[in-house]
């Protein structure tokens, strides 16, 4: 296998907020090796040749079609990436898994079905199954002979999943768990064979079970009438004295939340990758259309306001892509730094937990960029964008779910800060020390600053300023609310938005610098334009979010002082982002696609 250029040391999860990294320390799409590129190509061709031509029938829920496509994907090895080789999978590294997810996403309903099966449906058994459970289920799930799904949500328990009402009690003879209750919104539920079901033992202890279709007392409800991803199956599942063999308890009684949240963590990361791939495809369609469609005697792409849309779509996709591949690289670097652990899957789970903040960012940023991209694509198509005969109408409807499932974006925003605070308090991340150091710097007053020099001086200052801005706003919020900060959700949301922008800014900048060093400034000039335009606007967003948060936590002289410090951290020279975006738009239009693929 060709080697992958992984950084030698693995950065800690969340450490991007307080540490600087060098361009060569981050993984970028340019670092993908031949095998990883081949996986992407196989996945992309599979969807283009086998799935997309059947989209109309899939949208009508043609009986057996989606499950047969999943089986075909399994035969090609596209389902077993998360399954170790010992159980019939291919045990892909995280970077390969990311490429795979991205390239399967041309048809969202297939991507969602794939994620529900190969991700959240199969991985609970990979990470938490006993040897017998792994041997029984994984080989069949890896090939697609059996399809899996993940049953957490209930009619009354979505975001607060632990409020589940489904119950499990041991039968009098001690041989079966008897399940009663209902699950809701279960992707793949209409045709799956294996159901990962969460229920409370004796109505109290949240636990997880492997349930097979056909167990007595198990039944599947009718397909839900959805706004989008109509080609995927979404059904309620009913358990009426459903008899589940005792040995099908997954993990331990009362530890179901560990299964649920660790698996969602993986799901979130992958969801970002699916969104990334989907956004690139939509940009491609919009770029082609902008060239073909004429108005006032010219292709509409030649109008500045249309070009600016294409450019901004590419710029935001670039930011998401830079973050997601950087995170995937960190996960693989952490895995290789851990060495040959006896149990690689347990090791991987720990590593994924380490990067839970980055996974939530992948989910939120990926889904919101996709929503932006599909919305602008509809606008570029004009009236035809509103017509089901054109591809962007479906993409627009399909996109919307991504902000809702795998933990809503609100819940994930709250989680980012909750996880950061936990890491700060446990000492896993020296946030408090960084905050104290910043306070010293603030008290010392404005220092004589060297005038900016070098091609990236402004952007370096913007990233450093954004990191300080986070510490300033978070420090003020923690000082005021302490343990009650979680109750101030709007403040937490603003802080979370700053965290995400910091990661996006630094990842975009380092990738552009790495590309310039590798290929030369001229060859990487358009990527540099995209990075500069992104950073310039992101710095505005950071400043605004911090102002919002500070105004809520301070007042009077204290507020005035903090806003003065904020202005210092946000100071920068103007940049002609219109010119930068025009060059990005020209690159999109020249190639009719996202211009930084694999670079
Ligand atoms: C098409 C589709 C497929 C799905 N597939 C699956 C699947 O395969 N398996 C599965 O288990 N589930 C699945 N789901 C369920 C999905 O995960 C939930 O819909 C989601 O978690 C939100 O739960 P809810 O719908 O009950 O919304 P609620 O939890 O009622 O939330 C409603 C709104 O309130 C907000 N909110 C809730 N709590 C808070 C809070 N504490 N603070 C701030 N805001 C809050 C939410 O962000 C949201 O905006 C699917 C859903 C859909 C629509």
- pLDDT at 446 (0 to 100): 75
Question: Whose CA is closest to atom 40 on ligand 1?
Answer: 411
Q: Phi and psi for 172 in degrees, rounded to 5?
A: -55, -35
- The DSSP code sequence of 28-44 is -GGG--HHHHHHHHHHH
Contact by Cβ (8 Å): 270, 324? no
Question: Mean per-residue pLDDT for 308-315?
Answer: 98
- The DSSP code sequence of 161-220 is GGG---EEEE-TTSSEEEEEEEEEEEETTTT-SEEEEEEEETTTEEEEEEEETTSTTEEE
Per-residue pLDDT tens digits for 477-516? 999 999 999 999 999 999 999 999 999 999 999 999 999 9
Long-range contacts of residues 541-545, Cβ cutoff 8 Å, at least 24 apart: 541/497, 541/501, 542/465, 542/466, 542/469, 542/470, 542/498, 542/501, 542/502, 542/505, 542/570, 543/469, 543/570, 545/473, 545/494, 545/495, 545/497, 545/498, 545/501
Contact by Cβ (8 Å): 394, 231? no
Whether residue 450 is predicted with pLDDT greater than 80 in this model: the reply is no
**488 CB under 6 A from ligand 1?**
no
Distance from the CA of 400 to the center of ligand 1, in angstroms? Answer: 13
State how far Cα 433 lies from the chain centre.
Answer: 29
**116 CB under 6 A from ligand 1?**
yes
All residues at 6 or more sequence positions from 477 whose CB lies less than 8 Å from its CB, including other chains: 485, 488, 491, 492, 495, 549, 553
Whether residue 7 is predicted with pLDDT greater than 70 in this model: the reply is no
Per-residue pLDDT tens digits for 415-438? 999 999 999 999 999 999 999 999
* Residue matched to tokens 């450019």: 311
Question: Mean per-residue pLDDT for 288-308?
Answer: 98
Whether residue 386 is predicted with pLDDT greater than 60 in this model: the reply is yes
Question: Mean per-residue pLDDT for 85-96?
Answer: 96
* Residue matched to tokens 């946030």: 431
Contact by Cβ (8 Å): 318, 276? no
Question: Whose CA is closest to atom 7 on ligand 1?
Answer: 186
Distance from the CA of 592 to the center of ligand 1, in angstroms? Answer: 36
- The tokens describing 71, both together, are 């089986």
Quick one: pLDDT band at residue 153, thresholds 50, 70, 90?
very high
Q: Helix, strand, or coil here: 255?
A: coil
Question: Mean per-residue pLDDT for 139-162?
Answer: 97
- pLDDT at 348 (0 to 100): 85
Find, among 280, 275, 322, 279, the residue nearest to 530 by Cα. 322
Please, which residues bridge with residue 205 across strands? 201
Question: Whose CA is closest to atom 51 on ligand 1?
Answer: 185
Per-residue pLDDT tens digits for 43-77? 999 999 999 999 999 999 999 999 999 999 999 99
Question: Mean per-residue pLDDT for 302-312?
Answer: 98
DSSP state of 451: P
Distance from the CA of 160 to the center of ligand 1, in angstroms? Answer: 8
Find, among 388, 362, 406, 329, the residue nearest to 36 by Cα. 329
Quick one: pLDDT band at residue 338, thresholds 50, 70, 90?
confident
Question: Mean per-residue pLDDT for 9-36?
Answer: 94
All residues at 6 or more sequence positions from 66 whose CB lies less than 8 Å from its CB, including other chains: 58, 109, 110, 113, 188, 191, 231, 232, 233
24 labelled catalytic: no
**30 CB under 6 A from ligand 1?**
no
> Could you give the angle at which helices 489-519 and 409-426 cross, rounded to 10 degrees?
80
Question: How many whole angstroms separate alpha carbon 263 and alpha carbon 115?
Answer: 11
> Could you give the angle at which helices 344-354 and 356-381 cross, rounded to 10 degrees?
70
**Going by DSSP bridges, is the β-strand pair 194-201/249-250 parallel, antiparallel, or unpaired?**
unpaired
Element (H, E) at 421: helix 409-426
- pLDDT at 310 (0 to 100): 98
Whether residue 10 is predicted with pLDDT greater than 90 in this model: the reply is no
Whether residue 527 is predicted with pLDDT greater than 80 in this model: the reply is yes
Contact by Cβ (8 Å): 584, 508? no
Element (H, E) at 85: none
């Amino acid at each position: 296998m060709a080697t992958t250029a992984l950084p030698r040391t693995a950065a800690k999860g969340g450490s991007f907020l307080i540490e600087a990294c060098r361009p060569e320390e981050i993984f970028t799409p340019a670092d993908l090796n031949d095998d990883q590129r081949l996986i992407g190509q196989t996945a992309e061709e599979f969807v283009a040749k086998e799935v997309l031509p059947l989209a109309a029938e899939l949208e009508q829920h043609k009986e057996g079609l989606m499950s047969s496509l999943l089986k075909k994907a399994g035969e090609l090895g596209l389902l077993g990436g998360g399954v170790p080789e010992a159980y019939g999978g291919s045990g892909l590294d995280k970077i390969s898994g990311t490429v795979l997810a991205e390239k399967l996403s041309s048809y969202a309903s297939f991507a969602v079905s794939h994620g529900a099966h190969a991700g959240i449906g199969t991985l609970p058994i990979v990470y938490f199954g006993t040897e017998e459970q792994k041997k029984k289920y994984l080989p069949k799930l890896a090939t697609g002979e059996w399809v899996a799904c993940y049953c957490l949500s209930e009619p009354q328990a979505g975001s607060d999943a632990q409020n589940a009402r489904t119950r499990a009690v041991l039968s009098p003879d001690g041989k079966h768990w008897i399940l009663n209750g209902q699950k809701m919104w279960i992707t793949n539920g209409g045709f799956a064979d294996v159901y990962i079901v969460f229920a409370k033992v004796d109505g109290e202890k949240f636990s997880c079970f492997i349930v097979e279709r056909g167990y007595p007392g198990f039944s599947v409800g009718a397909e839900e009438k959805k706004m989008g991803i109509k080609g995927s199956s979404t059904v309620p599942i009913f358990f009426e004295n459903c008899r589940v063999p005792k040995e099908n308890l997954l993990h331990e009684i009362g530890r179901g939340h560990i299964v649920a949240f660790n698996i969602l963590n993986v799901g979130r990361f992958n969801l970002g990758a699916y969104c990334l791939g989907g956004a690139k495809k939509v940009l491609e369609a919009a770029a082609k259309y902008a060239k073909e469609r004429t108005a006032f005697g010219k292709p509409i792409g030649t109008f500045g306001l249309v070009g600016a849309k294409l450019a901004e779509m590419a710029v935001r996709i670039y930011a998401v892509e830079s973050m997601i591949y950087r995170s995937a690289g960190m996960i693989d670097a952490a895995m290789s730094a851990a060495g040959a652990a006896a149990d690689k899957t347990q090791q991987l789970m720990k590593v994924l937990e380490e990067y839970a903040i980055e996974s939530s960012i992948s989910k939120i940023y990926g889904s919101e960029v996709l929503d932006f991209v599909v919305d602008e694509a509809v606008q570029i198509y004009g009236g035809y964008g509103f017509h089901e005969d054109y591809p962007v109408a479906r993409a627009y409807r399909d996109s919307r779910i991504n902000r809702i499932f795998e933990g809503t974006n609100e819940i994930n925003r709250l989680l980012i800060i909750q996880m950061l605070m936990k890491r700060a308090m446990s000492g896993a991340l020296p946030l408090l020390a960084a905050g104290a150091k910043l306070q010293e710097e603030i008290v010392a007053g404005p220092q004589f600053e060297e005038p900016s020099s070098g091609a990236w001086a402004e952007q370096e200052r913007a990233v450093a300023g954004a990191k300080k801005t986070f510490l300033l706003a978070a420090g003020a919020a923690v000082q005021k609310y302490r343990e009650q900060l979680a109750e101030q959700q709007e403040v937490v949301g603003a802080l979370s938005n700053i965290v995400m922008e910091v990661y996006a800014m630094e990842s975009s900048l380092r990738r552009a610098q790495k590309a310039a060093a590798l290929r030369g400034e001229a060859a990487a000039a358009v990527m540099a334009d995209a990075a500069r335009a992104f950073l310039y606007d992101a710095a505005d967003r950071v400043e605004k979010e911090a102002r919002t948060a500070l105004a809520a936590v301070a007042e009077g002289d204290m507020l005035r002082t903090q806003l003065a410090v904020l202005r210092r951290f946000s100071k920068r020279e103007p940049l002609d982002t219109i010119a930068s975006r025009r060059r990005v738009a020209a690159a999109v239009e020249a190639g009719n696609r996202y211009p930084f693929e694999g670079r």
